[in-house]
Amino acid sequence: MSQVIELGNINLNCPANCQCHNTHFFGPDRQIIRRGQAFNFYVHFQNRDWDDSVDQIVFTVETGSLRPCESNKTKCTFPMGRCLDQTCWSASYKTHQPKCINVSVFPPSNACIGRYIFNIQVTSHGHTYQRCLGDFYVLFNPWCADDPVYMDNQAHREEYVLNEHGILYEGVHKHITSRPWHFGQFEDGILDICLKVLDIGASYHHGSDRDHCWRNDPVHVSMVVNHMVRSNKNNDYLKGTKPFSWNGSVPILQQWYNGRCRPVRYGYCGSLAAVMCTVMRCLGIPSRVVTNFCFPCSTENPLGINEIFDCTGKNLCGKDKLWRYHCWNESWMARRDLKQCCGDWQCLDPTPLETGRGSACSGPTWVRSIREGELDLDYDGHHLFSRLNSNYIGWLSQNNAKKTKLFCDTWPCGQHLSTKSVGSDQCEDITGTYKYELGSLKSKEAYYRAYRRIHPGYCNASNCHIDRELSSLHNPFLSDSGVNMRLKMANCPMYGEDVQLHWLLENLRNEPKNLNFNLCAQIITYNGCPMDQFWKDKVNVTLGPREEISFCNPLQEDMKNCIMTLEGCGLFKEPMTIE
């Protein structure tokens, strides 16, 4: 009579599995695998060969801290057979050598991500016993065509999942600067920290009664991460780290984890988006940081951003603020909730922005829906469309508290959207993924669709009706009155030296003109907050018919590490960075 088979050593084969699953960057000592792809290990027996006529193995995997159960997909028990079933958790084996079998375990492409406990139960001749095999980790799999995060380009997977080094773009649209950033998604301990982010965020998204079952969906996971990486608006930078002093995600995540999950002070939009990118890449969701130049942080009126000037040209900063740049995160996934069969970029913004219902994080929002103006499909689509397509309106504040419209410009918002190129440190302009070329037929059609959804009163309005409404916003520009004016930098601004500006005026008419100008220079921080004027002047100019003249004005500036714009009534001109 055969003996009860006795388990011997079990080799989990971690280094080889991690190499096959593209998780070896975490290190070879832990079993970290990606769903939708089998992993293998070796089971040794002490006393005889395996005989499936009298021996049986059943595996149990479970994840989550609160009552894992099969009904919510946080626990699964499955037998070992001769072949794998790729629709569910399954296991198969083949003989490897005497008294040893090679076992393959398949985690389905809809398995919950996270840390699992792995148990084996052996039944032999009616005798049953168990052993815990330890733990292993399951991540999203952009190499698996059945996973919603599947990305079919290997170069893109290497950039958006495996690359630990990135670049954040800052500055202004005509002077884009770069900041190196270390994402560090494979650094020691970061995976456990990222899973802790999901643990803490679970109560926000589903409540503790649902536990970990939502972790099989990248949409829900991204919403939790987006909420968890948000900032606190009450920032006293003297009581924390200055936002621009960070150069990587790892110290931020470690400080949060080691500080018992208390908020880290402080970050700005770039560091928030970069930390989110780290968490998403660590979990297996392809992600990248995007920078947009000229971005309204709040919109008092949809599709309109207001700036107010006094009679000297000083920016008084109305309720709306125009950020010089703003960063957010894009993540790649197929949205099952939108019936998408293929992956595409989804916009996720962890920086809380004003929405009319208070401040909130945005997304996930399908980037293509923003470009097409299909705003009823998605989370926060109308807010993002408004901020990328707002008219920029300048007002003159008068002593009697009335305002006079100076100009309306359709250009500034949503320009030069930038991200790091695949496989290089070059900047890639991806504006075309968010909006069609200004003035094109497709751009107008998208705007009409969005306008009808943002303004319910125009849901049945014709395109001509909307055009008439938009035309009422526009006042004549300076050039329409027969004068062309430009400000140009005459030198590269250097700390401690005068800034030389060329002011060019041209009379476009055949009659002379007598003009009065109020000019000023004023510091505007990157998030749109005006500071004091440091230069202003009044100029009377007489131009003969078709005459063109130029002036050179020295501006003395004694501040460093700031972003400065030169503005006058009716102007939105050359910004410059003082290093």
Active site residues: 269, 326, 349
In terms of Cα–Cα distance, which of 63, 336, 108, 36 is closest to 212?
63
Cα–Cα distances in angstroms (integers) from residue 188 to residues 15, 25, 63, 236, in the given order: 16, 10, 22, 31
User: In the structure encoding, which two tokens stand for residue 52, read together?
Assistant: 């499936």
Long-range contacts of 423-430 (CB under 8 A, 24+ apart): 423/155, 423/158, 423/159, 425/167, 425/178, 427/167, 427/169, 427/176, 427/178, 430/290
Give every CB contact of residue 96 below 8 A, 6+ residues apart in sequence: 42, 102
Rounded CA gap, 460 and 55, in Å?
A: 71
To the nearest 10°, report the CA torsion of 46, 47, 53, 56. Answer: -30
Rounded CA gap, 498 and 489, in Å?
A: 11
Give every CB contact of residue 261 below 8 A, 6+ residues apart in sequence: 196, 200
Contact 140, 283 (CB under 8 A): yes
In terms of Cα–Cα distance, which of 517, 530, 537 is closest to 565?
530
- Alpha helix segments (H runs only) across 214-336: 218-228, 250-258, 269-283
Rounded CA gap, 286 and 269, in Å?
A: 19
Beta bridge partners of 165: 182
Q: Which 3 state secondary structure label does DSSP give 219?
A: helix
SS (H, E, C) 461-500: CCHHHHHHHHHCCCCCCHHHHCEEEEEEECCCCCCCCCEE
Element (H, E) at 577: strand 575-578
Contact 108, 34 (CB under 8 A): no
The amino acid sitting at 351 is T
Backbone angles phi, psi at 430, to 5 degrees: -115, 25
Contact 353, 360 (CB under 8 A): yes
DSSP E strands in 334-372: the ranges are 344-354, 359-366
Centroid of chain to Cα 232: 18
Contact 43, 67 (CB under 8 A): no
Q: Which residues of 213-225 are buried (b: 16+ CB within 10 A; e: fewer)?
A: bbbbbbbbbbbbb
- The answer to whether the peptide bond before residue 448 is cis (omega within 30 degrees of 0) is no
What are the DSSP calls for 21-70, one per residue?
Answer: TT-GGG-TTS-EEETTS-EEEEEEESSS---TTTEEEEEEEEE-SS---G
